[in-house]
Structure formats: structure tokens, C-alpha cells
Amino acid sequence: MHHTIEVHDLRFKYPDGHEALMGVSLHIEPGEKVALVGPNGAGKSTLMLHLNGILPSENGNVKVCGLPVHKDTLGKVRAAVGLVFQDPDDQLFSPTVFEDVAFGPLHMGVAETEVRQRVDAALAAVGMSAYLQRVSHHLSVGEKKRIAIATVLSMNPEILVLDEPSAGLDPRARRGLINLLRDLPQTMLVSTHDLRLVEEVFPRTVIMDQGRVAADGPTEHILSDAALLTAHGLEI
Amino acid sequence: MLHIDLADHARHGSSRVHRLDPRVKVIATLLFILTASLLPSGAWLSFVFLFLATLVVASQTGLGITYALRRSFVALPFALAAITLPFTVPGPAIAQFGPLTLSADGTIRFLSLLIKSWLSVQIALMMTATTAFADLLWALRELRVPRPLISIVSFMYRYMFVLADESLRLTRARASRSAAGAGRTGGGLIWRGKVAGGLVGNLALRAFERSERVYNAMLARGFQGELKTLTPPALTDTDRNTLVGWVTFLAMVGLMGFIF
């Protein structure tokens, strides 16, 4: 498998007529860690929802790991792409942490003994092993965010797609998250407003604005271009 | 962070009762309630034995003997629904209140009902106190309670807290903007009604939108319309022995109730 994300001229209109994506093209190489930045409403989340087929793309213009995303490949695509939603209360919907982390592998048809191993490994990877039997609503935001990432790590994805992982975190939890993102080996596409996080973790940055890719290049070039950042409502 | 902590019934512990398989606890509780409700009125000896059983269970839970005892009185008002029994059931009169005659048979029936519900509530309280909610859910699922029902309760349990937090934020936002000005304060009943209606509507919309996002999160992790679960562990010998002992005891109490 080659862990690429290929998006070619992706367009999407919501049922209410709002045009969220107006021809997005993006190519991410295996093992690359890419930040996706841009103002609210730029289409970042909409793009992410296309990457594992939650929102339908039409004529095979989204390919993940070489697979075109459409109805017949959804199972494989969802196993390959771990999508973590912005609000961890959406991501953690089971009564206990264990059940949430086990949900992905269980529904992929993984054997039960392996499900348990994967849950242990995923929670260990995010440093949350002690939380196995905890109830989600008693956790702090930082803990929930980490466990939300574990819920997709247990699916052994090749690509991680994270929607604003650092939103709402205090400095210590944010530092922990930065270390975690740096250590994880997967190909990554991460949307965020936190440009200092981008600077530390991601070699490449994509700016989206008004449903289009406005800029795409090495992070240091993009972040040093003050005029470009201002034009798209970003600041360091 | 604002947080509503709705009282969770389960108390952590490692007592013998805590460690029992949740399926055994559910069945044992249901059988106890069934036995109590089938006993004839006035089977006092059986009631005494059932009461002793609740005391023994309570002493084994590690929660203290009075834990369920104190909480069980919440159920008494419901038993008052049967308050008419002493006056309507025919039988020898034991007292007269104006036009109402208190009959001996009716009184016995009423007292028996009171005792039965009081004992049943105690045993149910101890079951929920020693079983984590998630365990209770899988036990019910294994006991063939329909899956959609279990899923609904499970999601309700998870999001009850989230929704409660949201409504707390909404009411706080309203409260912080309900300042008293120089002139008239408050507002009429209709205006207040409108604000409250708006709050409820807002909450319903948020819940609806959240349900879409949760469903997306489920899809993203491979959900295809059927919730899968791990196979639960097998019953241990202790579980089986406890259940057999419990059933035998209840059967004897039941028999005793009908014979004496």
C-alpha cells in the first residue's frame, strides 16, 4: 500500500446550496505530515469528511492509498484513514473508554483477542493505559482528545486525519499533543488554527480559503510570508 | 469547565457482590422481585426471610447495611397508590373513620404490598450500586433485551451528561444577560415563555446536530448498521453457585409463604 492522499478538482455543495469546496486539488506523499490551515468556513472540515467517504465524492476524484473513494471501497478506505473529529464528545460515544477504542477494530471484523491487544497498544501510544475502564464524561478535554486519537489508532490506520486536535487544550495538554503528533509514524493531515503547532510539527502547510487551496508549500516559506497570511486571516 | 455531575448510582468496590457477573446480579434481582410479588398477602414469615436476605446481601456489598435501607424509602410514596385497599376490600371491620370502614383483610393486603415493594426496591438499589452502568448494559444485552433498546439507553447515558452541560451553559448565558435595568425588570409571562421555549428549541437543535456528528464518527470507524460487541466472559463457578443458592433460597421462601 502506498499511503498517499490524492484529491483532484474536488467540488462539493451542501444540500442547502452552500458551496463548500470549489475545485480542491491536493497530493500528499506517504509519511508526509501536512498542516491544513485557513479561516473558519474555508472548507477544511468538509474536505476531511471526503477523505474517508462520509461525504460522497462524485467521479473518483478522491483517492486514498491508491483506492478511489466510492461506495464499494468504503470499508477499506475507512480502515486506512483514521478520521478524528473536532469535538471529542462526538468521537467518544460509548459508555466506557475501552468500548470506544475497541469500536473501530471490532467493526472491521478483527478477532477478539487481537481487538484487546490493539486497544492496549492504542491507549499506550497516547499514554492513557490507566483509563481503560473509565467513563468518558468524567474525563478532561485533554484526556478526551488523546483517547479520541486512540480510537482510530486501534484501527491501525495508514493515514491520520485530525480536525483541530489542539482546540481547547491548556498549554500542558497541548505540549503533550505536540509530542504525540511528532512521534506517530502515520501520514498526517491535520487542520488547525494553531500556527505555532504547525511550525513545530509539520514540514508542509496548505492554506485553504473559500473552498479553494490558496497556498501549498514548505511551512517555513508559508509562515514567513506575512502578506499571504494576512490575506487569509491568519496570524502567528 | 462547567460540568453537571448527574448522580451515578454505581459505587466502586471489590466486594463479593461487586465481583459477581452482572448477568447473575440481574437475574437474581429479577427473581427476588418476582418471588416477593408472588407471595400471598400476610406471609409474614417469608417476608422476614426476604428481609434477612437483603441484610445478608447488604453486609456482603461493603456499602454498609444501611445503604439500601436509607434509600429505599423513596419508593414508599408509590405504594400509597394502594392506600384505598384497607377501605375497599371486604372483611371484618377493625376501625371506623366517619363513613370509611377499615377492614382487617384490606389492611393486611396493604401492609404486605408495602413490605414487598420496600424489599424489592432495596435489592434493586444494591444491584445498581454494585454494578457499573456499562456492565449492566451488556448483561441486559446478553439476557436478550432487544438491541435497539440497549443502544438507545447506552447513547442516552453517554449524552445525558453532555446535554445537561449544554443546557447548563444556555441557562447561564441567559442568566448573565438578565440584568436589571433602571426601568422595568423581568418581562411578562409571555416573554419569559418565549425565552424558555427558545432555550428548549436551541437545545433540541444542538442535540439533533450532535447526533449527526456522532453518527459520522461511527461511520468513520467502520459502523455498517449493526453494533458489534465482544463476547462476554463465561460464568465462573462462584457465579453459578451463587445463583443456584439464591434460586433455592427464593424457592423455599416462596413455598413457605404458601404453606404457612
C-alpha cell at A85: 473529529
Q: Across chain B, where does the E strand assignment appear? A: 93-97, 100-103
Which residue on chain B is closest to A142 by alpha carbon? B1
Which residues from chain B sit within 8 angstroms of residue A135, using beta carbons?
A: 8, 133-134
Angle, vertex CA A67, rays to CA A65 and CA A69, nearest 5: 115
Contact B218 A87 (CB under 8 A): no
**Contact residues for A82 (Cβ-Cβ < 8 A; gap 6+):** A104, A152, A153, A155, A157, A159, A160, A161, A186
Which residues from chain A sit within 8 angstroms of residue B229, using beta carbons?
A: 106
What's the pLDDT band for A160 if we cut at 50, 70, 90?
very high
Enter the DSSP assignment of B232: P
Which residues from chain B sit within 8 angstroms of residue A83, using beta carbons?
A: 220
Enter the DSSP assignment of A66: T
In the predicted structure, residue A114 carries a pLDDT above the cut 50: yes
What's the pLDDT band for B169 if we cut at 50, 70, 90?
confident
Say how far apart CA B136 and CA B132 lie, in whole Å.
6
Lowest mean pLDDT among A30-44, A101-115, A214-228, B89-103: B89-103
In the predicted structure, residue B202 carries a pLDDT above the cut 70: yes
Which residues from chain B sit within 8 angstroms of residue A117, using beta carbons?
A: none
**CA separation, residue B117 to residues A98, B38, B70, B74 (Å):** 37, 12, 14, 11
In the predicted structure, residue A151 carries a pLDDT above the cut 70: yes
Q: At A72, which amino acid appears? A: D
pLDDT of residue B12: 78
For the stretch A21-74, pLDDT in tens is 999 999 999 999 999 999 998 999 999 999 988 988 876 689 998 888 888 888
Give the best residue of B161, B213, B221 to mutate against chain A (max A CB count within 10 A): B221
Best mean pLDDT range from A83-87, B72-76, B80-84, B181-185: A83-87
pLDDT of residue B4: 53
Mean predicted confidence (pLDDT) in A135-157: 90
Say what the pTM is. 0.82
For the stretch B111-156, pLDDT in tens is 999 999 999 999 999 999 999 888 999 999 999 999 899 999 999 8
For the stretch B232-241, pLDDT in tens is 889 999 999 9
Contacts 24+ apart (CB under 8 A), B235-240: B235/B21, B235/B23, B235/B24, B236/B21, B238/B19, B238/B20, B239/B20, B239/B21, B239/B23, B239/B24
Contact A79 B213 (CB under 8 A): no
B154 CB within 8 Å of a chain A CB = yes
pLDDT of residue B2: 43
In the predicted structure, residue B8 carries a pLDDT above the cut 80: no
B221 CB within 8 Å of a chain A CB = yes
The residue assigned the cell 484526556 is: A143
